[in-house]
Structure 1
């Protein structure tokens, strides 16, 4: 994170890699319909929960990024995205509720101070 003069630390995850996608998928939302989006190579892992990791910076604005790795977003109880807010248009039709969570980065202040004390224990069961 150059803007913060801080280097992010990697998160270690263990699980079974189910497949590695080329990262390409047809954009389905209006702002890019007809284009092909490239998320870079992305492994899809499974360890009690499904995890999709991307190798290029990508804002998850389009639910179409999930089916290429076998995840159907409309059948999931929860989808967790790391995004700076751009996800709203693409996911608003399938989201029953949106819970915004602070993550380290330049957009942290957008959520306001009440969220800064949340922990994983505060997540819905």
Structure 2
């Protein structure tokens, strides 16, 4: 009550006793020091909240859009899915032949590739040990 009276006098431009004003300042400083405000944490919390709301709105919009697409164009989507799946199965057959060819090449040339890679790693390591000085 005394602080409110003092604040009322302060805003009415009435003179205030210097000791009372000093006590009020000390009381305010004690309150600030007892519960300091972490502004960086508040800023980070606000930014996280903003991005969280944006992400929530994005998910909500995507969900409503996907639901609308299925609701209104469901039959067309099923037909297109079947067409894409059949085309994919044709591609899988072609990839199967390609895979057999790659396996044949791998069986033929794997030891050559491994020999080249091993010698590269070995000689590169020797080269760096000879020229790096501590």
- Output the TM-score relative to the length of structure 1: 0.16
**Larger proportion of strand:** 1
- Output the TM-score relative to the length of structure 2: 0.15
**Larger proportion of helix:** 2
Bigger relative CO (Cα 8 Å, ≥ 6 apart):
1
